[in-house]
Structure 1
């Protein structure tokens, strides 16, 4: 399946009962009611708002830059390079971005990424206004945009476990997913297109403004969002930190050391590639085979956004009723069979209904698996594991798209039948495995014990310090 797909990790005891206290977070200060039902708090509200602003900037850029490309060239190959360069950084920079995120204040990582993207937006505004825009300028800007997207995306995913309790993560990720879906599908695209028709400079200026707002909000996040407490606790227990250039394989070692995590990673990658096979020629299938007017393609795609938003609102409820394991196992199979249905019943209504189901099922998967990953990977490793995970998962999707395009040359229904069928087969064969995945609050990643040990060490140091000890003077 597409998107982030996660699983348990080496140091966790899968299925064991653990404390639901927030790992070094402000959430631990709240009291009353179950953790899952507690208010997510002002820190999450800040994070959510910052991500909304950043998502709006992403949506404006992804809409405006292809429109600008059409103004400077009519070469289909050159225009297709925009989409390729937007995804290419994930293949080469996701792991280095993860190392950076784990080594510095994650608030600073978010702010730095969006500061650079603010400057890129300003540069694009100036280049366009001066009449010097070329496709090569767009290539450079979209590629650098993508590089810093890997930094921002990894950082924002790593902040949530620092400010929330594990049981709150599904609800928090549901809200984040819903916000991104609404902003990128119902706000940024249509509004950017309308403003673009008035003046190309209006959306470009707005792009710089919303990224700047996201920078300010990132800086205003509380200290606990930095994630530095995890690295500090680990360093106090194990000595000095490892040099950055020795950390490139940390994420890979962490994943491969646990059979359950490794299985889920490869299953996720295979399923994601299968879905990419199926959807590679989706637009041609809709327009050429099913007769959808080209002008209505964007409207049709909103059906997927509706499915994703609806699923984001109920994912946490599904998890509460059936558990993470059973919910994601069913979602995996349902999404795959819905893909097959698109090809097996070649009508617009069938495609629309199935697309709602596919998008909704994938969204449920993404929310719950992301929440599980955030709770079971030690805080100090979140960036590196996230980067490693996406390098393989997202790196395989272009391969699936090429395979799907070749299959589509034979018949446009075949990619849906083959891609969806293979994904469904994998989902059925590994259904029992997926069903055993635990809830986020039921897995111990060792952070609570490490932080408690660091606090005990600090307390003992304070007790034995003399009256002129610098620690006391601070």
Structure 2
């Protein structure tokens, strides 16, 4: 398999793909072990939840700035340096846990640094891919990367992270440090590629950021996709902010049942990576994107009305398929139509809308459920997505020619 991919997309893509797989395992391990570590120090729910928030916060604070630097700097070297930086931060956390000197403040600091590094490395990764993969291979490359993320991060890493934490609390973080170091070494072996065309002679950071925002806003299709998914994330996260309570009180599931229901997203995502290219070829980009918006409406409406766990699981699998297919198509489209020197900044605007929408939705969901009940966020999400679908329907016609 490795040789086949190398022949089709080149050895450089194989190195990048392998680096992604290795670091995704490490990320998933820390994603599980982090909350467990905080919970072993404090029982305060706010402090436990804060560990997740501090790692997301840099996306809200720095995503646009990171995008500008991704377009200024050598992207390959930036990925290498950031991965080494994250390896050092995790090694420090490993030492603190191993010596029993770790505190919540130390964990928060390391997780904030990891999140900051993520804004740079993830943005650079997406902008770097078109430099080593031919345009007609981008869909296949993004599909493989998405499948790797699902398998490594969602399936393999989570039980591994919990198992390592039980063996030794420091072990998961040490493993993650090692995965970042290995990923850095793999990316460092990729051949040197030309710097972004407009990168070397910039003046002010604010002007660079504004240029990226203006370019995105001036492209009708990408603007529609970005705003649609930003608003969709508000709706989605408002509904799923209370998902754990919804599964208990509405579906009657235990905590184990809740865990299995969460896996349906990953199952759908894995299926989505195998059918994305085929669906796009068979039905066309416009039809697939429009169908995705309809699936969002149906998903929220179904969850608002059902009390049957199997039906909920089925619709979540379908939603997972849609999410992965939509992601592969949109990322590939962006990599093809955005000028190389603007890829980092345009991607950073997407990230800001995605995570900004997610954060706002999570805050709204809890308030709505508290006031009007657990199904209210799902009903509101269904109505909101119906409006978004109607508004985006016509502009999505342009997706076929993008």
TM-score category (smaller protein): over 0.9
Hey, what does 2:361 align to over in structure 1?
Answer: 400
Hey, what does 2:285 align to over in structure 1?
Answer: 324
What is the deviation of 1:248?
2.5
What is the deviation of 1:146?
0.2
Given the alignment of the two structures, is residue 83 of structure 1 paired with residue 86 of structure 2, yes or no? no
Q: Which of 71, 76, 96 is the equivalent residue of 1:127?
A: 96
Q: Is 2:221–2:396's contact at 8 Å kept on the other side of the alignment?
A: no
Q: Does 83-92 or 242-251 show the bigger shift?
A: 242-251
Q: Classify the secondary structure of the residue corresponding to 1:395.
A: helix
Alignment of 1:348-427 (within 5 A): 348-409=309-370, 410-427=372-389
Given the alignment of the two structures, is residue 430 of structure 1 paired with residue 397 of structure 2, yes or no? no
Q: Is 1:281–1:412's contact at 8 Å kept on the other side of the alignment?
A: yes
From the superposition, tell whether residues 260 and 204 of structure 1 become closer, same or farther in structure 2 (CA, over 3 Å).
closer
Q: Is 2:62–2:119's contact at 8 Å kept on the other side of the alignment?
A: yes
Hey, what does 1:46 align to over in structure 2?
Answer: 15
Hey, what does 1:208 align to over in structure 2?
Answer: 177
Hey, what does 1:13 align to over in structure 2?
Answer: none
Q: Classify the secondary structure of the residue corresponding to 2:65.
A: helix
Q: Classify the secondary structure of the residue corresponding to 1:248.
A: helix
Report the Cα distance in structure 2 between the residues aligned to 1:363 and 1:137, rounded to whole angstroms.
35
Q: Classify the secondary structure of the residue corresponding to 1:131.
A: coil
Q: Classify the secondary structure of the residue corresponding to 1:223.
A: coil
Q: Which of 141, 147, 163 is the equivalent residue of 1:172?
A: 141
Q: Classify the secondary structure of the residue corresponding to 1:247.
A: helix
Report the Cα distance in structure 2 between the residues aligned to 1:173 and 1:70, rounded to whole angstroms.
36
Report the Cα distance in structure 2 between the residues aligned to 1:243 and 1:306, rounded to whole angstroms.
45
Q: Does 302-311 or 52-61 show the bigger shift?
A: 52-61
From the superposition, tell whether residues 355 and 60 of structure 1 become closer, same or farther in structure 2 (CA, over 3 Å).
same
Hey, what does 1:146 align to over in structure 2?
Answer: 115
Give structure 1 stretches of 5+ with no counterpart. Answer: 1-37, 444-474
Hey, what does 1:118 align to over in structure 2?
Answer: 87
What is the deviation of 1:375?
0.5
Q: CA RMSD in A?
A: 1.6
Hey, what does 2:30 align to over in structure 1?
Answer: 61
From the superposition, tell whether residues 259 and 432 of structure 1 become closer, same or farther in structure 2 (CA, over 3 Å).
closer
Report the Cα distance in structure 2 between the residues aligned to 1:402 and 1:242, rounded to whole angstroms.
38
Indicate the structure whose relative CO is greater, using CA pairs within 8 Å and at least 6 residues apart: 1
Q: Scaled by the length of structure 1, what TM-score is found?
A: 0.80
Q: Which of 106, 114, 119 is the equivalent residue of 2:75?
A: 106
Q: Is 2:238–2:377's contact at 8 Å kept on the other side of the alignment?
A: yes
Q: Is 2:230–2:356's contact at 8 Å kept on the other side of the alignment?
A: no
Hey, what does 1:32 align to over in structure 2?
Answer: none
Given the alignment of the two structures, is residue 339 of structure 1 paired with residue 300 of structure 2, yes or no? yes
Instruction: Return the structure number with greater helix share.
Output: 2
Report the Cα distance in structure 2 between the residues aligned to 1:406 and 1:350, rounded to whole angstroms.
26
Q: Is 1:278–1:420's contact at 8 Å kept on the other side of the alignment?
A: no
Report the Cα distance in structure 2 between the residues aligned to 1:206 and 1:69, rounded to whole angstroms.
18
Q: Does 92-101 or 415-424 show the bigger shift?
A: 415-424
What is the deviation of 1:245?
4.8
Report the Cα distance in structure 2 between the residues aligned to 1:229 and 1:364, rounded to whole angstroms.
28
What is the deviation of 1:243?
4.0
Q: Scaled by the length of structure 2, what TM-score is found?
A: 0.94
Hey, what does 2:195 align to over in structure 1?
Answer: 228
Report the Cα distance in structure 2 between the residues aligned to 1:268 and 1:185, rounded to whole angstroms.
22
